Amino acid sequence: MKIRKEDIHKIEDYLWEIPKTFLPKMRVPARVLASEPLLNAIMEDRSLVQLVNVASLPGIQGASLVMPDVHEGYGFPIGGVAATLYPHGAISPGGIGYDINCGVRLLTSDQKIAEIKEKLDPLSKELYAQIPSGMGKGGQIKLSRQEMDKVLLMGAEWAVEKGYGVKEDLAFMESKGRLENADATLVSDMAKKRGADQLGTIGSGNHFVEVDYIEEIYDESIAEAYGLYKGQLVVLIHTGSRGLGHQVATDYIRQIMNAMPYYNIEVPDRELACVPFNSKEGQSYFKAMCAAANYAWCNREIISWEVRTAWTNIFGSTVQPLKLMYDVAHNIAKVETHLIDGVQTDVIVHRKGATRAFGPGFEELPASYKVAGQPVIIPGSMGTCSYVLSGTARSKELTFGSCCHGAGRRLSRTAAKKQVNAPVLKEKLKEKGIFVEAGSFKGIAEEAPIAYKDVNMVVETVSDSGIAKKIAKLRPVVVIKG
């Protein structure tokens, strides 16, 4: 299948559509949120082919969607959003991804960049010492089978109960850091074994811990509600459910592929394997996915504890403790209610490399954020910048309350390694005032700024389209990579 520019119709500024008449199997249109330059870049890989295939899922509603940071993934493109009819519409592990609840959180300090510049180098080394990073790297917490089951059921609450977290953090996490549908018995022994020593670790790939300062504020009132101000030091943490989540995906993709003939389901791409949400297999996967998501929230809370420890070791105990501004999930499926064709409809929203971006008044938000809307955290690359935005009512109309999750890759990891001299890049970043610590030069090369789209263009697209509002721009000074 080849998708040409003439197959894509412009609906409005920043919104494009491939009509459902494009292919007989499409049940809904396929839509792209992007500026025209970004759309042209998106057409360079198979993202739009995957988007069109997603539009064939049983029970899909409205449209299959991709955000401007989209790139090719497993089954679903990364940056994809799809809502299927609850309870009998499809659930597809490919629409969530292997790194279940890969997500990002932002911690705020009461310190300014001007006050601590001379301590950035020792801070980078202390953070790297405190936070285990790298492929397969284990942490200091070793979970027994019983404690693992508690983590899978309790999520971030487990970290708080064990002294590795802060109770006040829970109110500032998506779903308060716990999905109640989790069932630890549906997570395999292999998945539990892989996750037994990985709590409090960031892993490898695009995961990181990053110290930034706020370079610019765009909306003073919402920034104040979020506790943000110009010059402030903040910390971004980006990671997910590690080997445990990967194994959950692996286990259930295999089971669901085998179950599809029983439900007479055919899909144009085997990577879109799916079953009805209310089927035995669908419920088993969903409950295991919820358990893996809980593990990820617990992981990020424990990493926050490690960051807070490093912070105290460098700056002393007299500075104010780091506060959690918010924590969002990227790779997850949730049952939500959305207005579709004028009717309030319960749907299963798949977000793969996409962030929830609900507007003001959303009942789950902390009281101090209800007027502002949900924080949306968009990391860039380690040499550029990141953004904090706020969700809007418009996102519910256009994207099932969803937004982009980052800059989005433009080069594969292999291509990046061929083009980047990692030691030279590390020195160049240091000259720019960015201290990088990583387990290998390979990791630095794979995550080089050149490997990513222009985060400014991506953020301008979601901002100008109205699905999220720019609040603050962040500039990196310390980066910890796997």
Pairing of strands 60-71, 30-33: parallel
405 part of the active site: yes
Q: Is 114 helix (H, G, I), strand (E, B) or coil?
A: helix
End-to-end CA distance of the chain: 37
Of 71, 207, 350, 405, the active-site residue reads: 405
- Compute the distance between CA of residue 228 and CA of residue 226 in angstroms, rounded to an integer: 6
Which of 145, 135, 247, 130 shows the shortest CA–CA distance to 196?
Answer: 145
In 282-382, which ranges are E strands?
A: 323-329, 332-340, 343-352, 354-356, 375-378
35-73 residues labelled b (16+ CB within 10 A) or e (exposed): beebbebbbebbbbbbbbbbbbbbbbbbbbbbbbbbbbb
Q: Is 351 helix (H, G, I), strand (E, B) or coil?
A: strand
Which of 99, 377, 346, 86 shows the shortest CA–CA distance to 228?
Answer: 377
Sign of the C-alpha dihedral computed for residues 52, 348, 203 and 127 taken in this order: positive
| Residue 4 and residue 21 in contact, taking contact as beta carbons nearer than 8 Å | no
Which of 396, 201, 209 shows the shortest CA–CA distance to 295?
Answer: 201
| Residue 379 and residue 210 in contact, taking contact as beta carbons nearer than 8 Å | yes
Give me the DSSP letters along 5-65. GGG-EEEETTEEEE-GGGSTT-SS-EEEE--HHHHHHHTTSSHHHHHHHHTTSTTEEEEEE
In whole angstroms, what separates CA 120 from the centre of its chain?
Answer: 27
Give me the DSSP letters along 372-417. T--EEEE---TTS-EEEEEE-HHHHHHSSSEEE-SS-BSS-HHHHH
3's tokens: 């998708």
**Helix or strand run (H / E) with residue 227:** none
In whole angstroms, what separates CA 55 from the centre of its chain?
Answer: 22
Residues 6+ apart with CB under 8 A from 399: 33, 65, 67, 81, 357, 467
- Number of other CB atoms surrounding residue 390 within 10 Å: 26
Which of 220, 226, 218 shows the shortest CA–CA distance to 106?
Answer: 226
Residues 6+ apart with CB under 8 A from 224: none
Enumerate the active-site residues.
405
